[in-house]
Amino acid sequence: MCSRGLRMPRGSPSGAFTNNGLVWTWSLTHSVAYPSVMARNDSESNLEHCDYESWEAAASTALKGKDLADLTTRTFDGIERIPLYTRQRNGTARNEDGLPGGAAFARGSRASGNVLGWEIRQSHFATRHDVNAHILSDLANGATAITLKGAPEEIGALESIFEGVHLDLAPIHLSPQSSPEQAAALLGVCESRSDDPDLLTNNLGLDPLGRLARTGHSILSLNQEVDRCVEMTAQVASSYPHMTPISIDGSVWAGAGASDSQELGAVLSAGVLWLRALLASGFSIDEASDKMEITLTAGPDQFMTTAKIRAARVCWAQVITACGGTPSKAPIAIHAETLQAMMTKTDSWVNMLRTTAACFAAAVGGADSITVAAFDSAAGLSDDAGLRLARNTQLILQEETKLSSVIDPAGGSWYVEELTDQLAHSAWRVFQDLESQGGLASALLSGHWQESLAETRSQRLKAIVHRSTPLTGTSEFPNLDEQKLERDPVPDDLDVSEGEQRCEPLPLFRWSTPFEQMRDAVSTSPDQPVLFLANLGDIATHTARSTFAMNLFEAGGIRVLNNDGFENTVDCVEAFVASNIRVACICSSDRTYSESAVQTARELRSAGAKLVYLAGNPEVLPEAASNFDGFIYLGCDVFEALTPIHQTLN
């Protein structure tokens, strides 16, 4: 039931890209003239007198006294991102001469890239009552594969879910953390449905390590669980050569707040665990790598996502080399899925912007397959519109923008190349730390890994509440009058805790949750809190701070009564009394603050104000800070500022 053409099996050779294949046929029907020699830099003559030092001097002048170093930012891994990258400062032998499919493999696992396009996956819950109809609709309208979550362990139940689906044209994958029993059921369906096992490219989703991390429980010990999966992998390899039994899921760690380096480092450690187990059972290094797929998350940071996927190939090549293999013969499939932690319930439509940027970044990085979450997935089961938009996001990027037609579009960007190298080194350090603990499994069972993730999660939460990591529609530019999406609940039986508890389970950390909880508390209150903006002066004088204040207070669910400003304190206090509001925030310029902010605060309090805030840093009026109950400014702790208001008004 798939309207799209056949795709090459994952293990197919790249020989199709020869003079007798696709590229030659294309060239016969399209007349394109290329220059015999491409200039290395066609604008070089305009830059012959420019260097970094001269740019640095010009930039410092443009900043008018501000420190140029302030433009450098750092990630949670400590990776610096500087304002300007150049060949002289950031060029290396690898990014100068490296080609796709060669050297460190940052530019791709094969020279041909993904010119046939990446696999467009769509996820569905097996227990959804209309799951078969949704699957058929996706496959008929552009999806090339389906990932099934919470698959049943009975062949008959799977048969009904897959009714009308041609498994040799559109592979059905099991989501990571699936059990051998679920995988056996899928194999049973494949056996009854397909006449040619060589055409089946399903992923069985075997990932006991990820399941243990999610639930903290397992029936058997982790070593026994791994042995069961290795045994099934050996059986599958003999009957279905192009199936991928093992999943290495980075979203488990990213969903718990991991940084990009931590996510990639954990994936590498899990990959080494499986390599050891498969090699011990008789697989060669090339065969073992072919039986695994890694999943990496694609987040809102476009360049970091692209760099992470490129760095994954660099690091995996090092792993294969260390194991005595040849990286070019043992590439690993990379699946990217948009990060669920970045999805918001408030102003869910903004999620489409996040997932589009994430999908674009994953495709530029060279992901072999991509899953885009529906914009309403945080609210519950996605409706038809959500699924259609998620699917079409990939289709437009692949088919209309021809993104996959360019081999390694990020290649040659000194920024992306430098970021790739830094992330690869940072992830490798995380990997080595985990291996020093005995591997990811030991670090998980001992609690060491949970502690590392908790530390990063705390840093991320701090960045969110200080709004240095902005969430559009939630912590920035909130809309208190939006219509809340109502969706059926997501099945809650996916992460069932079975067996003995063996470690602390990892939490699912969605970034917008703290703000959503604050707004939910307001929505259930009988009296919605309202704050009066005491704007002093004309619009030009107060608008910068009054706009900032309204944005900040509404992010916490507190409505704001705004105005055009007051000429003096008397008019301001009279308007406050007439509003019948008990909390106020003074907004104006530093000059006005020095003249009348303290007097206005005192008179507002005399008029019945329970709390009086000032829009500005405490350093604006250091000697008069005691006259105010709080200060709101760029970088302040939003929760610390808003909690007293909630306690007072609710």
- Specify if 236 maps to a domain: yes
State which residues form the domain around 540: 518-649
Kindly state whether residues 408 and 530 are assigned to the same domain: no
* Maximum separation of any 2 CA atoms in the chain, in Å: 88
pLDDT at 97: 56
Task: Flag the least confident range among 18-27, 65-74, 209-218, 275-284.
Answer: 18-27
Give the pLDDT band (50/70/90) at residue 94: low
Q: Which pLDDT score, from 0 to 100, does residue 106 have?
A: 81
* 277 shares its domain with 376: yes
Give domain status of residue 215, yes or no: yes
> Mean pLDDT, the chain, as a whole number?
89
In a domain, 511, yes or no: no
Q: Which residue has the higher pLDDT, 126 or 116?
A: 126
> How many angstroms separate the CA atoms of 646 and 640, rounded?
11
pLDDT band of 31, cuts 50, 70, 90: very low
Co-location of 413 and 523 in the same domain: no
**In the listed set 395, 417, 444, which residue is the last one of a domain according to the structure?**
444
Residue 25, pLDDT above cutoff 60: no
Is residue 95 a part of any domain in this protein? no
- What percentage of the chain has pLDDT greater than the value 70? 90
Residue 477 covered by a domain: no
Q: Give the mean model confidence (pLDDT) for residues 14-19.
A: 34
Give the gyration radius of the chain's Cα atoms.
28
Can you say whether residue 576 is alpha, beta or left, with left for phi > 0 and alpha for psi between -120 and 50 degrees?
alpha
The answer, yes or no, to whether residue 1 has pLDDT greater than 50, is no
User: Residue range 105-133: average pLDDT?
Assistant: 89
Beta strands 172-174 and 217-218 are unpaired
Average pLDDT, integer, range 18-41: 41
Do 531 and 433 fall within a single domain? no
481: left (phi over 0), alpha (psi -120 to 50) or beta: alpha
The answer on 325 and 424 residing in a single domain is: yes
pLDDT one-digit tens code per residue, 233-287: 999 999 999 999 999 999 999 999 999 999 999 999 999 999 999 999 999 999 9
Residue 63 lies in a domain: no
Asked if 296 and 249 touch (Cβ cutoff 8 Å), the reply is no
Q: Which of 23-37, 182-196, 221-235 shows the lowest per-residue confidence on average (mean pLDDT)?
A: 23-37
The mean pLDDT of 172-190, rounded to a whole number, is 96
Query: With contact defined as beta carbons under 8 Å apart, do 154 and 185 qualify?
Result: yes
Q: Which of 190, 170, 65 is nearest to 121 (CA)?
A: 170
What average pLDDT does range 591-596 have in this prediction?
Answer: 94
CA distance 372 to 393: 8
CATH number at residue 530: 3.40.50.280
DSSP letter (8 states) at residue 404: G
Rounded Cα distance between 624 and 480, Å, is 33
Q: How confident is the model at residue 23 (pLDDT cuts 50, 70, 90)?
A: very low
Beta bridge partners, 80, equal 74
Residue 29 lies in a domain: no
Average pLDDT over residues 322-342: 94
Grade residue 24 by pLDDT with cuts at 50, 70 and 90: very low
CA distance 583 to 420: 49
Model pLDDT for residues 557-568, shown as the tens digit of each residue: 999 999 999 999
CATH code for the domain in which residue 153 is found? 3.20.20.240
Spatial CB neighbours of 526, under 8 Å, sequence gap ≥ 6: none
341-382 pLDDT, tens per residue? 999 999 999 999 999 999 999 999 999 999 999 999 999 999
Q: What is the pLDDT of residues 436-452, one digit of tens each?
A: 999 999 999 999 999 99
pLDDT of 93 reads 60
Using the predicted structure, report yes or no on whether residue 575 has a pLDDT greater than 80: yes
pLDDT on residue 494: 62
Q: What pLDDT score does 91 carry?
A: 77
In angstroms, the Cα distances linking 29 to 14, 32, 158 are 22, 10, 45
Are 208 and 312 in the same domain? Answer: yes
Q: Residue 92 pLDDT > 60, yes or no?
A: yes
Q: Give the model confidence (pLDDT) of 528-537 as tens digits.
A: 889 999 999 9
Which of 444, 462, 481 is the C-terminal boundary of a domain?
Answer: 444
Q: Give residue 49's pLDDT.
A: 60
CB 355 within 8 A of CB 372: yes
Backbone angles phi, psi at 71, to 5 degrees: -80, -10
| Domain finish residue from 424, 444, 464 | 444
CB-based contact 576:584 (threshold 8 Å):
yes
**Burial degree of 621 (CB within 10 A; 0-12, 13-18, 19+):** buried
Residue type present at position 404: S
Query: Which residue type is seen at 314?
Result: V
pLDDT at 112 over 80: no
Both structure tokens of 445: 């069972």
Rounded-to-5 percentages of helix, strand, coil across the chain: 50, 10, 40
Residues 436 and 540 in one domain: no
For 402-470, list the strands marked E by DSSP. Answer: none
Q: Domain count of the chain? A: 2
Please indicate, yes or no, if residue 290 is contained in any of the structural domains. Answer: yes
